[in-house]
C-alpha cells in the first residue's frame, strides 16, 4: 500500500517562496502508471489542483497559479516537491500530495487514489 507524507514549513512570509516535499513509500515515483500531484484546500473551501509531475519528469500546472508553481522530483529519495513563489495570504491552505492513476491512452492523470494527510501552510 503506497503512502505519501508531506513535509515543510507551516509558516511562510508574504512575497517569499513556499516549499513542500512529499515522500512516497510502498511504491516508486518512477512507475509509469501514475502521476504525482499537489492539491490544496483553502480553509473551509473546496479542493484546487495545483499541478503534477510524471515518471518522465514532465510537469503540468494549473493556469490559475500564473506560473508561480514549480514541481520537481528526487528519484533517489523517492520524493517530489512543490515550490510556490511570491506567496500572499491567498496561498494559505492545506496542501496535499496525491497519486493519480493514468487516464488510459490519454497520457494524462485521472482520479486521485492515494493522498498524504495534508499540511497547513499559513502565509503571514
The residues of the shown chain that bind another protein, judged by CB under 8 A, are 37, 45-49, 62, 64, 96, 98, 100-101, 103, 108-113, 115-118
Quick one: cell of 97?
500530495
Pick 27 or 118: Cβ nearer another protein:
118
Q: Which residue in this structure is represented by grid cell 496561498?
A: 91
- The C-alpha R_g of the chain, in whole angstroms, comes to 14
Q: Least distance to another protein from the beta carbon of 123, Å? A: 20
Residue 26 backbone dihedrals phi, psi, to 5 degrees: 80, 10
Q: Report which of 115, 119, 88, 86 is spatially closest to residue 100, judged by C-alpha positions.
A: 115
Rounded-to-integer distance, Cα 65 and Cα 91, Å: 10
Cα–Cα–Cα angle for 10, 16, 19, rounded to 5 degrees: 50
CB nearer another protein, residue 24 or residue 109: 109
CB of 107 to another protein, least distance (A): 13
* Between 13 and 63, CB nearer to another protein: 63
Least Å distance between CB 4 and another protein?
9
Please say whether the beta carbons of 18 and 93 come within 8 A.
no
In the complex, the smallest distance separating the C-beta of residue 84 from another protein, rounded to whole angstroms, is 18
In the complex with another protein, the residue whose CB is nearer, 15 or 103, is 103
Amino acid at each position: 500500500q503506497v503512502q505519501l507524507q508531506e513535509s515543510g514549513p507551516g509558516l511562510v512570509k508574504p512575497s517569499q517562496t513556499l516549499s513542500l516535499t512529499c515522500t512516497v513509500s510502498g511504491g516508486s515515483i518512477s512507475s509509469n502508471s501514475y502521476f504525482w500531484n499537489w492539491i490544496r484546500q483553502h480553509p473551509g473551501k473546496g479542493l484546487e489542483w495545483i499541478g503534477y509531475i510524471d515518471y518522465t519528469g514532465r510537469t503540468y500546472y494549473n493556469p490559475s497559479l500564473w506560473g508561480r508553481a514549480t514541481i520537481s522530483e528526487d528519484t533517489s529519495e523517492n520524493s517530489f516537491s512543490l515550490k510556490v513563489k511570491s506567496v500572499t495570504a491567498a496561498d494559505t491552505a492545506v496542501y496535499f500530495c496525491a497519486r493519480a492513476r493514468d487516464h488510459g491512452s490519454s497520457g494524462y492523470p485521472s482520479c486521485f487514489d492515494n493522498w498524504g494527510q495534508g499540511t497547513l501552510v499559513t502565509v503571514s
